[in-house]
Amino acid sequence: MTRTRWIRLAAALGGLVLVACLPLLAIYVPGVLPGPTYMPGTLQLLALCWLTAALALSYHLLFGVVGLMSFGHALYFAAGVYGLAIVLERTDLPLLGAAVVVLAGGVLLAYVLGAISLRVTGISFAMVTLAFAQAGNVLVRRNPGDLTGGEEGLALETQFVPDALVGVVNTRNLYWLALAVLVVVYLVVLWIERSRAGHVAAAVRENELRVRVVGGRPYAVKLLVFVLAAGLATVVGMAYLLLQSGAVPRASSSEFTLTLLVMVVLGGVGSRWGAIVGAVLYTILDQRLGELAGSEAVEALPAVLRVPLSEPMFLLGACFILVVMFVPGGLAGAAGRLTQAGAARRRAVAA
């Protein structure tokens, strides 16, 4: 391993240790965090950031690695959220056993729907996945057999959940759980990308016909990545249920998948760290811009400015457009160009 890689690994481990210690510190960033990092509200927001980043990483597998633009990835996240809520409510299984059952169900669902969806490519694939996601969302809202709670959603049944993961007083434990999920998802994504299947998936993204000509099996590789990404999304969904103590219909909406797409593009398509940074930035903006929109400063503005600025989604959309127009390659691309420019300057000085 080269010196540069050792430095990067040490920096990553140091950053991970710092992030893991945040619940024990009193760091406050005005305008970004709602309070010091040891407060439950701040830990809740940060844990949501880590879970959203993990979900964005699972979507990165689809879009960034194999080039599949799915509009139905939220369906498998919802399978984790609602599946665990239903199993805990309707059975006597402990949390770990229920999680295994739900994960198996999410993987089976992904295998069946993926085998159907991947029979087509391009925009047709996107539309088929969108149709499945919409069907799932309608099913959740219709509340068949009083399973999903309809528009009101489902509350977390805590009888078989460890006490350490229940209640505001245990937000610190839920924070660490969310961080652990992010680390596990990152390591799985890294392993997949560096595996033989990951290399073939990248080749399929670049030129599927060439892979087929040399004897590869693009369909099998795409289905494998599709199922793995869905399984990771299911795991994130289960952790999300524990963090939020309930399931709501938005978790199954196709709009939520579009949000994941925005996160990945914002961070930089094809970059693992870009997906993480894009998800964290989007989540914080989504949470904090709502407060800005309702602030007295915005209310005091003329109507021509007050009306658009009072809509958080308008502000998020404007930020996304600016990044797409002026920061090609997303935040990861911008960081890479800055690093290359700095290296070029150092070489010029040395010469």
Q: Out of 10-14, 65-69, 119-123, 313-317, which region has the weakest mean confidence (pLDDT)?
A: 313-317
Over residues 43-78, the pLDDT tens digits come to 999 999 999 999 999 999 999 899 898 898 999 999
The structure's pTM equals 0.90
Tokens of 319: 């930020």
Over residues 164-216, the pLDDT tens digits come to 998 888 899 999 999 999 999 999 999 999 998 888 888 988 888 888 888 87
CA torsion 276-320-22-250 (nearest 10°) is -80
The whole-number pLDDT of residue 1 equals: 58
Sequence spans of domains, the chain: 38-350
Over residues 302-341, the pLDDT tens digits come to 776 677 767 777 777 777 787 778 777 777 777 777 777 7
DSSP state, residue 135: H
Hey, is 92 helix, strand or coil?
A: coil
- Please enumerate in sequence order all residues whose Cβ is within 8 A of that of 20, keeping only pairs 6 or more positions apart, or say none: 176, 179
Contact 274, 263 (CB under 8 A): no
Q: Tell me which fold the domain 38-350 belongs to.
A: ABC transporter involved in vitamin B12 uptake, BtuC (1.10.3470)
The whole-number pLDDT of residue 152 equals: 84
Over residues 273-296, the pLDDT tens digits come to 889 998 998 888 888 777 766 667
The Cα–Cα gap between 282 and 37 comes to 19
